[in-house]
Amino acid sequence: MQMPSFNGGDFVPYANSPVSAGGDGAPVVHTVHHSMASTPRVLVSWGPGNTLRLSYLPQVVRDGDDDMKISSSREGDAANGQVVEVKLGKKDDQPLAEKRALAYSSAQAFALLQNQKQQMLQSDGGSSRTGTFDWWQAVLEYSQIISATLGPASGPPGSATDFSGFPTKELQASTKPTTVKAIWDLVEIFYVDKNGASWLPERLVEWLASYDAVLSSNTLHTKLTKLQQRLVNLRFPEEEKEYWDGVASALAVGWLDIAVYLLRMHGSYQHDQIDNRNVENGLVETVAVLISKMPRLRPSLPAGAPGQAFDFKPEFSKAWEKWRSQVAKLDGSTYWGECNNITTQKGLKKLLKVLLGSIEDLLLSTTHWMELLVAHLLHVQPFSKVSEGLAGYAVKCVESKGDSGMNESTSANDPLQELTLAILSDDTEVVVAECTRLFDPWLMAHLMELLTAKSKYAQSILREERYALGGISLEELNRLSYAQVLCSHQLTWQLAPVYLSFCPRQGLGILETLLLKQPVSTSDRLALKVLEVCRLYDLGTVATTVNRIVGVHHWKHGRKGAGIAWLQRAQDDRRLAAVADELLESVSLGMSGSQMETLQELEGLVDLLGSELHSSQGLTFLHRYKDFKTGLQIIKKLRKQETDQQKIAEQGRQAADFLLQLLKPQVTPQRFWLPLLRDAVELLEWPEMPLLGIHETNLLLSRLQELSLAKVRGDLEGIDPRDLSRQSLERIRLALACNLGRALLQE
């Protein structure tokens, strides 16, 4: 099928064309049958999410026989209209299903944290301050949940698999880190975790090991991945310059397990070489042991990880000095002269310089400025904290990489540079601006809690009400933006209330608008979802409106029972009264003489309406007439069973009471009087005793007289004048006269 076109060109280019709107493959094209006898038309409309629908309807020309044919501007066009669906926006590597899974998982953690905050505010007496001693711990737990939702942690190449075989492409794709997770974890380090401030270099080593691949197109991760593939075919890797560069790079950024593993791939460890290369092997092993015993300022180390963990800073300082002296002693040892392999000698010397913190060697062993910063903190200033000029070190590292001509940190190759520097510098305004520019609204909606966890300055910036934003804060603005994204898809709109409910200024108003715009009349299931949201967030007015909309829709489309049920949930007495009157009208229109089958068919609806609706005259009549007819049926059953006559008489008196209530003023419309009087003959001719007294009989006589006068005046409403003929009324008059006489004698 051809795409609809204009002036010889496509309306919307295919996805694989240079100016594609985005997405893989050709857009979806649908055929539309139409009969619009007008000029050709192009229609534009939005579909779910970011789907744009373009419709092309060609002109329909009618010939002399009123047959229609399509007039096309060019040969080969389709004989019907076409609708093209195109996904707009830039290509997104994350599938839609994964986005939905992330949205649902993060919404639960977000709601739990907000509830904890409200409980904390209530316990603090309503103060807006959330700076209690354990609040940052709650945010840290929230951050770790979100981080786990974003994907599993990964490591540098070779840390999880040995260098004899690298992971498959499928495994690499499944464990590939994302920039969102990288930024999230980095913000957690600098804005949330207070305990991590004392061992910042080690935290950055771990962070770099997981996310070095996303920093730039040329990092140590790329370098080690290429080396990993080359080592498979090398027997003596020490003869290759890339081998020693790889060991030095891994050692510089603290990937000690990789450095030790690579060293022990040295050719001198092979059985046929160890006798001839004793000194060389001894030097290699000594360096490997020194690396394995490197002091590390951190609470603990994973099982089998090289290094020695020290949680107490004085102990670490003492061990650090002792270890550095051992490295320096080895660097000045006389054994170097006995090493015959110059390549090994130079490579090991370079490793010792890295361990001793040589700025020049650290600069040569790293490719990215973040790697250089981590190497500087680990080997030169392992006692650094966030507040001790870290931002200045970072800027110097960026400049150093630029001066060395090895910097790949341009805006194209390193889009995260400005954001990373802002996080290291605690520059909250720039962090917010860069995250907004680089990522979708999901990140900013959830990242606000991390930025404000322990910084009063960040709280004042992000929670300050701004006149330019309509009186809302940046925090609320980002939640509203993300809620709008959720509202755009039918599978995620129900998550939007979670975020809108925590927007104090405009959240509830937008939530009400969102719920009222849902097409609840098309699906009862959707309506029930909306009502559940209304119940959770105490939106009684919206719930009433939704019930009313669904009830009216069902009633108009002939589903009378469902319509009544929904209107009752809305407690809409006015519309229920109108429904009752409409039912009554349908009964009157379907009556012929004493035939009341139509009303009997509506007994279920009458029961459903209930008897609490006192404002409806029609509903009152329907209920009382139903009770009256039920009483007459019970009398017939009791007579057939020949039960106690006293019980039959009590049931007759009860039916007579129902009849009198029906004939009271302003209860029963005039068009129903004659059928009621005909039904009353059975009670008037009660054999044992008169059930109606003098006053009750006179009431029935007055109703019959009013019908006769209305016939004379010609203002009968809904009654056939032939039904009021003399012959048709004789039995009613005779029954009334007999009952009146019996009542007079009884009194």
With CA atoms as reference, report the closest residue to 684 among 735, 746, 625, 742: 735
CB atoms within 10 A of CB 723: 17
Question: Which residues are registered as beta bridge partners of 31?
Answer: 82
Task: Give the pLDDT confidence score for residue 215 in this predicted structure.
Answer: 85
Question: Which residues are registered as beta bridge partners of 316?
Answer: none
Angle value at C-alpha 590, between 701 and 632, nearest 5 degrees: 50
Cα end-to-end span (Å), the chain: 95
With CA atoms as reference, report the closest residue to 27 among 88, 89, 84: 84
Angle value at C-alpha 544, between 541 and 546, nearest 5 degrees: 110
Residues 218-258: pLDDT tens digits? 888 888 888 888 887 888 888 888 999 999 999 999 999 99
Alpha carbon 150 to its chain centroid, in Å, reads 15
**Rounded Cα distance, 1 and 76, in Å:** 10
Instruction: Check: CB of residue 676 under 8 Å from CB of residue 684.
Output: no
SS3 410: coil
Question: Which residues are registered as beta bridge partners of 86?
Answer: 52
Instruction: Check: CB of residue 374 under 8 Å from CB of residue 394.
Output: no
Query: What DSSP state is assigned to residue 721?
Result: G
Instruction: Check: CB of residue 22 under 8 Å from CB of residue 16.
Output: no
Structure tokens at 122: 């209530």
With CA atoms as reference, report the closest residue to 269 among 297, 238, 247: 238
With CA atoms as reference, report the closest residue to 177 among 146, 154, 193, 207: 154
Structure tokens at 567: 């209107």
The tokens 């770790």 sit on which residue?
144
Task: Give the pLDDT confidence score for residue 269 in this predicted structure.
Answer: 83
Cα R_g (the chain), whole angstroms: 43
**Rounded Cα distance, 44 and 400, in Å:** 53
Task: Give the pLDDT confidence score for residue 363 in this predicted structure.
Answer: 92
SS3 32: strand
**Rounded Cα distance, 160 and 488, in Å:** 41
List, in sequence order, the alpha helices (H) in 293-367.
313-331, 342-355, 359-365
Structure tokens at 400: 């150093």
Task: Give the pLDDT confidence score for residue 386 in this predicted structure.
Answer: 60
DSSP string computed for 89-146: SS--SS-HHHHHHHHHHHHHHHHHHHHHHHHHHHHTTS-S----TTHHHHHHHHHHHH
Task: Give the pLDDT confidence score for residue 433 in this predicted structure.
Answer: 92
**Rounded Cα distance, 100 and 442, in Å:** 11
Strand ranges in 232-349 using DSSP code E only, listed in sequence order: 295-297, 308-310
**Rounded Cα distance, 423 and 184, in Å:** 11
Q: Which residue stretches of the chain have pLDDT < 70?
A: 1-26, 34-38, 48-50, 60-79, 88-95, 124-133, 153-176, 385-388, 403-413, 584-620, 623, 642-643, 666, 714-728
Domain-wise residue ranges, the chain: 5-87, 233-354, 457-558, 576-746
Task: Give the pLDDT confidence score for residue 90 in this predicted structure.
Answer: 54
DSSP string computed for 725-743: SHHHHHHHHHHHHHHHHHH
